[in-house]
Amino acid sequence: MTDDEVRALRHVREELADAAPGTCGIVRRVGLAGLSGRVYADLGTVATARRDETGAVVWG
C-alpha cells in the first residue's frame, strides 16, 4: 500500500516483468472507512495490467 500512485504502478510493472505470461495485476484506490482507521473501503480500480505471451507488460 502506498499513497503514491506512480509508485504503485511502477511496482505492478516490476512484479509483472518477472511473472509468468498471463499473470495480471490491479492497482486499486482505497480510503479509510469508519472511525477506527483500521478498515479500508475499496474506491475502485485505478489501472490493470497483464504480462502477455511475448513477455510485455500490457496496461488496459
* Whole-structure pTM value: 0.82
Q: Kindly state the DSSP code that residue 54 receives in the 8-state scheme.
A: T
The pLDDT of residue 43: 96
Residue 13 binned pLDDT confidence (cut-offs 50, 70, 90): very high
The pLDDT of residue 1: 83
Contact criterion met (CB below 8 Å) for 16 and 26: no
- Nearest by Cα to 23 from 47, 1, 55: 55
Taking only the tens place, the pLDDT of each residue in 17-55 is 999 999 999 999 999 988 887 899 999 999 999 999 999
Q: Where are the domains of the chain?
A: 5-59
The pLDDT of residue 36: 82
**Mapping DSSP to helix (H, G, I), strand (E, B) and coil, where does residue 27 land?**
strand
